[in-house]
């Protein structure tokens, strides 16, 4: 296998060699060769941006055939980057007139405290991951122009209220940190020719303990509607460091163990009260 992969890829990283020596199959969930040439868009320097895994390809296909798509999966699976690449492609092909990227301004477990500067300076730290994706996909001068003339808009979710978002490709990122009301507000902004991708990771909810993620309810209520679809990505779709996949699997296993323990305790309490 190692010789075959070396012939195909010309070089192998140290981590890939280690995986192979340990008996793992590091690319078994990656796309077959006949899919690898399906370029979504060309990024900075002409770099071809492609779906790297089966579920990323499913996400691309789902966005092409639906107007609203929920992309759910753990960190590092490329769901946001793939969505932004599809948005840039739509803009380049003049299928939309603008891109709108938004996410709720929720801190990831720590307080950022007082932030100096104007309103943009205060909210930009929350939106930095979206800017990072754009940086990889567009030349700096073109990105600056698009941001200046609002062809591309990056804004907190609260800024969507009261608007009609039409002729646009809209991405709601980190939707697991939205309330039910916020997701409903966002989805009811969509105009007749809008397309939207909602990304989220249900294992990384940063809301207060007494607040339920609205993403659960949205998936339950909406994904049977014609024109709305959902795609689930897993640890096998992780395209970051090889250890990210193992970290996600370890935390998922612990989560399942804790849920089973809670269910067992609940059942035991019910039996005692009878």
Give average pLDDT by consecutive 10-residue segment, the chain, 274 residues.
54 56 51 57 87 91 95 91 94 94 68 54 74 91 93 89 93 93 94 94 85 91 93 84 75 75 73 68
Q: Which residues pair with 154 in a beta bridge?
A: 101
Residue 274: predicted pLDDT: 64
pTM of the model: 0.75
What are the φ/ψ torsions at residue 263 (nearest 5 degrees)? -65, -40
Residue 23: predicted pLDDT: 57
Residue 44: predicted pLDDT: 86
3-state secondary structure the chain: CHHHHHHHHCCCCHHHHHHHHCCCCCCCCECCHHHHCCEEEECHHHCEEECCEHHHHHHHHHHHHCCEEEEECCCCCCHHHHHHHHHHHHHHCCCCCEEEEEECCCCCCCCCCCCCCCHHHHHHHHHHHHHHHHHHHCCHHHHHHHHHCCCEEEEEHHHHCCCCECCEEEEECCHHHCCHHHHHHHHCCECCCCEEEEEECCCCCCCCCCCCCHHHHHHHHHCCCCCEEEEECCHHHCCCCHHHHHHHHHHHHHHHHHHHHHHHHHHHHHHHHC
Residue 187: predicted pLDDT: 94
Residue 119: predicted pLDDT: 56
Residues 120/93, Cβ–Cβ less than 8 Å: no
CATH topology of domain 38-240: Rossmann fold (3.40.50)
C-alpha closest to that of 27 among 61, 36, 39: 36
Residues 100/153, Cβ–Cβ less than 8 Å: yes
Domain edges within the chain: 1-30, 38-240
Residue 32: predicted pLDDT: 45
- Rounded to whole angstroms, the Cα distance separating 42 from 31 reads 19
CA dist list (Å): 268 to 255, 256, 264: 20, 18, 6
Distance of CA 27 to the CA centre of its chain: 21
Residues 173/100, Cβ–Cβ less than 8 Å: no
The per-residue pLDDT for range 132-162, each reduced to its tens digit, is: 899 999 999 999 999 999 999 988 888 898 8
Residue 212: predicted pLDDT: 87
Cβ of 56: how many Cβ atoms within 10 Å?
27
């Amino acid at each position: 296998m190692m010789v075959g992969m070396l012939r195909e890829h010309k070089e192998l990283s140290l981590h890939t060699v280690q995986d192979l020596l340990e008996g793992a199959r590091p690319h078994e969930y990656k796309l077959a060769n006949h899919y690898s040439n399906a370029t979504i868009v060309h990024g900075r320097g002409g770099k071809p941006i492609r779906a790297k895994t089966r579920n990323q390809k499913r996400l691309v296909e789902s966005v092409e055939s639906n107007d609203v798509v929920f992309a759910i999966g753990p960190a590092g699976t490329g769901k946001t980057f793939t969505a932004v690449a599809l948005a840039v492609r739509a803009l380049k092909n003049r299928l939309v007139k603008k891109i709108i990227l938004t996410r709720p301004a929720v801190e990831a477990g720590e307080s950022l405290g007082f932030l100096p500067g104007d309103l943009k300076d205060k909210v930009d730290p929350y939106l930095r991951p979206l800017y990072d994706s754009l940086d990889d996909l567009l030349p700096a001068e073109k990105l600056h122009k698009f941001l200046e003339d609002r062809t591309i808009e990056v804004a907190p979710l609260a800024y969507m209220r009261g608007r009609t978002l039409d002729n646009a490709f809209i991405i709601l990122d980190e939707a697991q940190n939205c309330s039910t009301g916020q997701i409903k507000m966002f989805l009811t902004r969509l105009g007749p020719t809008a397309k939207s991708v909602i990304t989220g990771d249900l294992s990384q909810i940063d809301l207060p303990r007494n607040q339920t993620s609205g993403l659960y309810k949205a998936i339950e209520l909406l994904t049977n509607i014609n024109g709305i679809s959902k795609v689930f990505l897993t640890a096998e779709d992780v395209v970051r460091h090889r250890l990210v996949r193992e970290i996600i699997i370890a935390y998922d296993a612990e989560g399942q163990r804790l849920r089973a323990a809670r269910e067992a305790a609940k059942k035991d309490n019910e039996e005692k009260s009878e």
